[in-house]
Structure 1
Amino acid sequence: MTGMTLMPRTGEEWTVDDLDLLPDDGLQYELLDGLLLVSPAPAPLHQRVITRLLVLLHAACPPGYEVLPAPLDWRPDTRTSLQPDLLIARNEDVGEHHVTAPLALAVEVLSPATRRKDQVLKRSKYEDAGVRSYWIVDPAEPSLLALDLTDGSYSTTAHVSGTERAVLEGPFPVEVVPADLVRPAP
């Protein structure tokens, strides 16, 4: 997991209570089944993609749902606290400090430091915890892999790259063109 640090711990596993005691030092701290994951701050391209997706999803979002960017903790249990780059949750599921209910959508934008974490570790946790839709965006290609939960497992609903258009229904209708997400502002 290049660029990502696993914090050693002797004795007990990490919990969300331990996570709340860590400093606000510009690093991203996440917890996955008791294992602390630490990632560096994202690069401008990563943030550009998140911003474009946030605007796109916000415009298509129906009443009763919210589109929110990281850092916002999703805590499905006491041993997990993940921060998807973007998440969509029902309004009533958004708490004062974090979200605990299964998400309607989690979006991760890949970077060299987070690629394996997003494609393997987070994907598995989101699937196991009932996150209905999971999108993985790769700005280097650029591409979008959209997955929807069917009978407890993720199945691919779209896999597009460049100027190809993904017409997605989950969690609500929206169209995404990966190349549009990486272009600098005019």
Structure 2
Amino acid sequence: MIVNSTELQNNFGKYLVLANQEEVIVTRNGNPIAKLVPVTYGKMLSERWPSSEIIMESTAKYNDSLGKSTYEEFLELTKDNELRYEYIDGQIYMLASPKTEHQSALTELFGNFYNFFQGKPCRPFVAPYDIVLRTSSNQINSVQPDLAVICDLEQHLGEDGFYKGVPALVIEILSESTRRKDLVSKLNLYMEAGVKEYWIVNPLNKEITVYLFEDLNIKDSTTYKNGESALSFSFLGLSVPLNVVFARPY
């Protein structure tokens, strides 16, 4: 099946379903640019279709790469599209809906952060909220961290209503489909882009690791286990009990 990029954007869900039955070739100006294909567990799709553009992050237990694209192509794909995407190191990721365990942890974290930052100049924001970051090599990236603490919103709020700065603190909650990206790609991205502190929340083993970045390096890090309270390096007094974050949601 062959479909142009505009039709794909307008009916993406339909073509994801059709891709389970046959390959869907995507064209732009009559030229093939990408291919939607059924995924195969345990095998990287980038080894099979290196010319494709999108990384599919599904609710299943894998995280597959389909190749590179430009930032302009990412903007074209996501324009007026209700699906959620991230763009990291030239790769497009489509984000799956989070599970209950993930949302329960996020709710508890946001509640703690909201209470702590009441009356303070910084504010916590939860996904979906686009953050555009540039690395030291000037690579443009667009991410939707689970939670971000922003302290310079007034100075960096664009006329289009989007935030243009760098968060002081970012939190990502791991899932089986995102753990590699969160542990490696996003850690490097946040460090290079100027984020001061990065929390990795792991519901799988009920741990929270807090990284402190300085001069494009990891200055310090601490891993907190269930029963302890995670402490912020940057914000004195910010403390989150892990038994609350990882409490059963039912």
**Letter of the aligned partner of 1:3 in structure 2?**
Y
The answer to whether the 8 A contact 2:170-2:199 is kept is yes
1:35 aligns with 2:94: no
In 1, the alpha carbon distance for the partners of 2:220 and 2:80 equals 36
Pairwise CA distance, 1:97: 4.1
Pair 1:97–1:35, CA change in 2 (3 A) = farther
Counterpart residue number, 1:86: 147
**Letter of the aligned partner of 1:82 in structure 2?**
V
Pair 1:140–1:148, CA change in 2 (3 A) = same
State the secondary structure of the residue aligned to 1:123. Answer: helix
The size of the alignment, in residue pairs, is 182
Query: Which of 30, 53, 71 is matched with 1:14 structurally?
Result: 71
- The worse-fitting range, judged by mean Cα deviation, of 125-134 and 160-169 is 160-169
Q: Deviations over 1:123-150 (max 9, x none)?
A: 1000000001100000111111001112
Counterpart residue number, 2:198: 134
In 2, the alpha carbon distance for the partners of 1:163 and 1:173 equals 18
State percent identity of aligned pairs: 25
What stretches of structure 1 of length at least 5 have no aligned partner?
none
The answer to whether the 8 A contact 1:134-1:148 is kept is yes
C-alpha RMSD of the superposition: 2.3
TM-score, length-scaled by structure 2: 0.65
Pairwise CA distance, 1:152: 2.2
Pairwise CA distance, 1:116: 0.4
1:181 aligns with 2:181: no
Counterpart residue number, 1:4: 63
In 2, the alpha carbon distance for the partners of 1:106 and 1:164 equals 20
In 2, the alpha carbon distance for the partners of 1:88 and 1:52 equals 15
Counterpart residue number, 1:147: 211
Pairwise CA distance, 1:163: 0.2
Query: Which of 23, 27, 32 is matched with 2:81 structurally?
Result: 23
In 2, the alpha carbon distance for the partners of 1:42 and 1:113 equals 10
The answer to whether the 8 A contact 1:157-1:168 is kept is no
Q: Deviations over 1:83-142 (max 9, x none)?
A: 100001123234454332121111000000110010000010000000011000001111
In 1, the alpha carbon distance for the partners of 2:231 and 2:122 equals 20
Counterpart residue number, 2:122: 65
Pair 1:33–1:172, CA change in 2 (3 A) = farther
The answer to whether the 8 A contact 1:132-1:171 is kept is no
**Letter of the aligned partner of 2:122 in structure 1?**
Y
In 2, the alpha carbon distance for the partners of 1:13 and 1:136 equals 28
What stretches of structure 2 of length at least 5 have no aligned partner?
1-56
**Letter of the aligned partner of 2:71 in structure 1?**
W
> Would you tell me which structure has more strand in proportion to its own residues?
1
> Larger Rg: 1 or 2?
2
In 1, the alpha carbon distance for the partners of 2:77 and 2:219 equals 32
Pairwise CA distance, 1:8: 4.5
Pair 1:173–1:114, CA change in 2 (3 A) = same
In 1, the alpha carbon distance for the partners of 2:194 and 2:88 equals 15
Pair 1:20–1:39, CA change in 2 (3 A) = closer
Pair 1:107–1:14, CA change in 2 (3 A) = same
